[in-house]
Chains A and B, each alone.
Chain A
């Protein structure tokens, strides 16, 4: 080698002394109307994050009206007893606020972010939306039409299309989890303002809702602000809800969603697993990270950094819905895109990675790096109010204690290589994975069939 410029080289430095950090503990309380409130002061976080959880899960949607929870959720920001839809959007933006919301299997979630100087006004608007939504006929009609327009865009997106197919494959047709969260063309078209209002009256009330408020609350009289806003929301008490049992078919098989001409194949390989109430969860988090948590995990070490088949493949576990009794479920999956000609070889390598892991297990070094990363990133990951609020809200939504995240960090640190190996190997057994491939069937079907990873069927994309 020539022309290598010189510099003074020094040995790799050692870490300094770690400074203490702990996941923030929220203060929990209940307003007179039954609303549960979690509050958490985070110095310096001038943008306050507010999460509101409503006990309105997708399985509560009436038969044939899949999507009504989504339309209701969107309609919260389309006018109240005080403001028209346009005025409401304008007033929110005048606070410098953003309001995102979505309906999912565990319930409806609204996420407000606003500079602390305008928190009171924004909480007032949020409370109006929950307390007295207008649900005007014309706005609901517009939201329904808009939702119908979105569906073809989702179908054309390889990642979205794959997710839709995997849910359909895993769960029985009568399970809400088998069907698109935001409804189909047929069900959405049946939704009107009466259906939205009926869903709202039946499932939305302060007694079954929780608000999480995180940010720099110096000098903020939050009790007074809440009393005038979310505290003024009234509603009847409600019986606790039970979660329907979930069954899933993870018989190993391959479904190709045909997308002629696609230059890549979108992979989504998954099955159903336990939720965070199960003792195996920390070990599974650790093992899954070692398998596919980052660019240096086992999957990308081969598929990306050795073979160049992909921009990145990730393995993850995502809770779909939890119940206090531990009957909840999560989606365990591997996802990514590989170029069309290398689809067969990439899947072959992927299966080899899984088999090698099952045969030889993880190394102590892998386990150590994973723990150091998963636990070590906590202060970075929870720097913003929004990140803290989101995790606290997840805990509430999944019926976990408020100190769950701190406990998880302790458990991760105490999990050994053997436990992590066992957990990830049983999370991703090679013969119990449903493989969805969104790609050009004419090019990938034969090579995939030759791998022998399960029966192969081809379905149209639309």
Chain B
């Protein structure tokens, strides 16, 4: 059987190697051996996310991800979960703006089962998909939405800030969870069409990492996935390109029953995959990562005006990335006091740049994060898929940390100066209201607010 093209490269850190292959139907396969522990991770990224959704159908990509766990031709009902867990494996799927991923981590001798399961649903989901599954998972997803967004303080902050940071009609303006109305409106035909359009082998990357025999593994992949037909009708996603800066400050004040005032902001940053995005990552680590950052030292330690203060980075490849700042105020401190201090710190940073010691700390922190991410077979499999889908080359995952370490203080200062400015941000302010506020507000307040802890997870919805 013709097995397409295979390339091997010695790639980067710790002697890890990556083998790439493409089946005739277009499925890209990435293999990486690691025999330290008898486990194997399977990760499948489909190049579809909430940015591909159309108006009136927000949340469809994520709802669909749930439907992928409801059986296929040879797998009944919850069989996917049952078989993987019964084999001693763990599994899940998540949906973000730019991709949907599915993953199983298996004891190495159960690897073939995971491949068989993934192939069965890629090739035959529509045999099992029915109205009953759709209605049930629609209810589950609505409860997921309530649990993670609507029923917790600040839970809808992320959604609100995306609506402020991206213009009307932009593909990244809505978050993957979608709206209640759109979830309600999703039909069986929508789900079927979504599957036909996006769940084809030539729109996916499959990575397999761990205690594997590459030849045997590739033979299994060919056997199970090789006959699934490709599909050429996938529409181009809407263009996510935007000017470098927003150009003016967008602002929303939310009056809700929350425990404290909050100042949140999103800044528009360079796209993922660029050197400038890595520089921004370092800038945000210095300004708002951990307990030695500038904002933490200023607001929590010195001024004592905040209970928490930090920055996070949401990397996006098809649209500008976002810096996400979250400050919860202490006691009765008013938001303008916090805002003035934040502006002062950002302006000072843009003016002076980072110190050598700050650069050393930020490099060390981001290096450890990469070691953590690549320290498990599942983490490595996910990163290989990420770089293959978003940037065309999985091997870039193994050198990502070197690129971050290569960024200079001047580049960090440059991106801060260009991007962390008041005219390049969307601001969300929370002002608490009393219990006794008019009941009529409750309908609106169905979309209250976030858990500070959950910020890093908020770009992903998960099936489990």
Interface 1/0s, chain A 325-346, versus B by CB < 8 A?
0000000000001110000000
Task: List A1-51 residues whose CB lies under 8 Å from chain B.
Answer: 1, 3-10, 12-13, 15-21, 43-47
B137 an interface residue at 8 Å Cβ cutoff? yes
Q: How far apart are the CA atoms of A262 and B331 in the complex, in Å?
A: 25
Stretch at the interface among A86-94, A103-111, A218-226, A418-426: A86-94
Instruction: List, sorted by A's number, 6 A–B pairs whose CB atoms are closer than 8 Å.
Output: A47-B371, A93-B292, A96-B367, A118-B364, A156-B258, A261-B439
**Residue pair B153, A153 in contact (C-beta under 8 Å):** yes
Given known contacts A94-B361, A114-B368, A296-B78, A158 and B151 CB-to-CB distance under 8 angstroms = yes
State how many residues of chain A have any CB contact under 8 Å with chain B: 84
**Residue pair B211, A308 in contact (C-beta under 8 Å):** no
B105 an interface residue at 8 Å Cβ cutoff? yes
Question: Quick one: which of A6, A97, A261, A308 contacts B143, CB cutoff 8 A?
Answer: A308
Question: Quick one: which of A16, A157, A312 contacts B152, CB cutoff 8 A?
Answer: A157
List A contacts of B147 (CB < 8 A): 264, 311, 337
Given known contacts A5-B228, A96-B368, A311-B143, A156 and B153 CB-to-CB distance under 8 angstroms = yes
Q: How far apart are the CA atoms of A19 and B110 in the complex, in Å?
A: 10
**Residue pair B85, A373 in contact (C-beta under 8 Å):** yes
**Residue pair B361, A19 in contact (C-beta under 8 Å):** no
Q: Which residues of B contact A (CB under 8 A)?
A: 14, 34, 36-39, 73-74, 77-78, 81-83, 85-90, 105-113, 116, 119-120, 123-124, 126-127, 135-144, 146-148, 150-153, 196, 211, 220, 223-224, 226-229, 257-260, 290-292, 297, 300-301, 304, 307, 328, 330-331, 357, 360-361, 364-365, 367-368, 371-372, 375-377, 435, 439, 442, 445-446, 451-452, 464
List A contacts of B300 (CB < 8 A): 142, 146
Of all chain B residues, the one with the shortest Cβ separation from A95 is: B364
Does more than half of chain B's interface fall in helix, strand or loop, or is it mixed? helix
A113 an interface residue at 8 Å Cβ cutoff? yes
A174 an interface residue at 8 Å Cβ cutoff? no
Question: Quick one: which of B136, B153, B377, B452 contacts A308, CB cutoff 8 A?
Answer: B136
Of all chain B residues, the one with the shortest Cβ separation from A98 is: B368
Of all chain B residues, the one with the shortest Cβ separation from A154 is: B259
Question: Quick one: which of A9, A47, A306, A337 contacts B146, CB cutoff 8 A?
Answer: A337
**Residue pair B144, A311 in contact (C-beta under 8 Å):** yes
**Residue pair A96, B330 in contact (C-beta under 8 Å):** no
Q: Give B312 Cβ to nearest chain A Cβ, in Å.
A: 16
**Residue pair A376, B88 in contact (C-beta under 8 Å):** yes
List A contacts of B257 (CB < 8 A): 261
Of all chain A residues, the one with the shortest Cβ separation from B229 is: A5
Q: Give A120 Cβ to nearest chain B Cβ, in Å.
A: 14
List B contacts of A6 (CB < 8 A): 227, 229
**Residue pair A7, B124 in contact (C-beta under 8 Å):** yes
**Residue pair B227, A8 in contact (C-beta under 8 Å):** yes
List B contacts of A376 (CB < 8 A): 87-89, 107, 110
**Residue pair B304, A90 in contact (C-beta under 8 Å):** no
Q: How far apart are the CA atoms of A89 and B34 in the complex, in Å?
A: 35
Q: How far apart are the CA atoms of A5 and B195 in the complex, in Å?
A: 11
16 more A-B residue pairs beyond the given contacts A19-B211, A308-B136, A309-B143, with a C-beta to C-beta distance below 8 A: A1-B126, A8-B227, A12-B113, A86-B297, A93-B290, A93-B292, A152-B259, A263-B146, A294-B81, A339-B146, A368-B86, A373-B88, A376-B87, A380-B89, A383-B37, A384-B375
